[in-house]
Structure 1
């Protein structure tokens, strides 16, 4: 059973930003039209993180399969994630911090990572609530944490702050 652990994201700030900028540059070389964004907890000051870096790559529908091919040449497909014609997940565990890449079609049902980041950045009470959830699952089963995290974000999607984005 995989256990989840969290740390203050300030421990990862410098490496996360450096890794993000390096990989954004690489991605933009092969996908110049893509919108490449730093998402996840390392993008949100004062939050707890598992210590990984998340990047969302947003493309228009007609560029999706080209983007899949480009990112497949750079990263490993994340086999533990869903795979659709509007979403793919990739990873690189060799980077510092480890990297997760979410490729989404702009405006699709999976184009929400940047919205979650923005809601948490603009509304500290949601960030604190999310951190409290993380504290509750510290050292516990990753699957249980992921279920609770999903419930939190499903509820966040119903808020006026999220709907404005």
Structure 2
């Protein structure tokens, strides 16, 4: 983990703007494209990657999935369902992850978690502490710890 820096944030913001400008006209009109990863949260520790979520109406999911699959590799380490798909592109200035979700579906949570971190300095501090504590652990262990933390936050938001 590295501390979010102005340089990393600026690079993430620029890449987000570029990817959004390419995807916006290609995706269905219901698409809501958001920057949701650590680089979207001021003060959040980050691996230095860019995470986006594309939220679409259920009827538009197949079209949006085909659009993203034509432009990006599928994230082989992620699940794929009728209302969720993940894509990746490590050839960008920052590694890029894109999550496609159906609005209101079971995986439509990424923006809620990002909003919670932006709105609660103590929660962000706890999240950064978790990231620091997990630094150096195998990625599976880190992801499991992070998933438990995120689930706890989302449970409290419901």
Interval of TM-score (by shorter of Structure 1 and Structure 2): over 0.9
Name 1:7's counterpart in structure 2: 2
Q: Is residue 27 from structure 1 mapped to residue 20 from structure 2 by the alignment? A: no
Q: Mind listing any 5+ residue stretches in structure 2 that lack a counterpart? A: none
- Between the aligned partners of 1:158 and 1:14, the Cα distance in structure 2 is 32
Q: Is residue 158 from structure 1 mapped to residue 155 from structure 2 by the alignment? A: yes
After TM superposition, give the deviation of residue 111 of structure 1 in Å. Answer: 0.2
Query: Per the alignment, in what secondary structure is the counterpart of residue 78 of structure 2?
Result: coil
After TM superposition, give the deviation of residue 32 of structure 1 in Å. Answer: 4.6
Name 1:88's counterpart in structure 2: 85
The farther-off stretch of 52-61 and 32-41 is: 32-41
After TM superposition, give the deviation of residue 139 of structure 1 in Å. Answer: 1.4
After TM superposition, give the deviation of residue 157 of structure 1 in Å. Answer: 1.2
After TM superposition, give the deviation of residue 154 of structure 1 in Å. Answer: 1.0
- Between the aligned partners of 1:9 and 1:20, the Cα distance in structure 2 is 16
Q: Mind listing any 5+ residue stretches in structure 1 that lack a counterpart? A: 1-5
Name 2:71's counterpart in structure 1: 74
Runs of 4 or more, structure 1, over 3 Å off, are: none
Contact 2:28 2:64 in 1 (8 A): no
TM value normalised by structure 2 = 0.96
Name 2:141's counterpart in structure 1: 144
Query: Per the alignment, in what secondary structure is the counterpart of residue 100 of structure 2?
Result: strand
Match of 1:18 among 2, 14, 17: 14
TM value normalised by structure 1 = 0.92
Deviation track 1:5-45 (CA, whole Å, cap 9, x = no partner) reads x0112241111000000000111111152100000100000
Q: Is residue 97 from structure 1 mapped to residue 94 from structure 2 by the alignment? A: yes
Count of residues paired in the alignment:
156
Deviation track 1:74-107 (CA, whole Å, cap 9, x = no partner) reads 1111111000000000010001111000000000
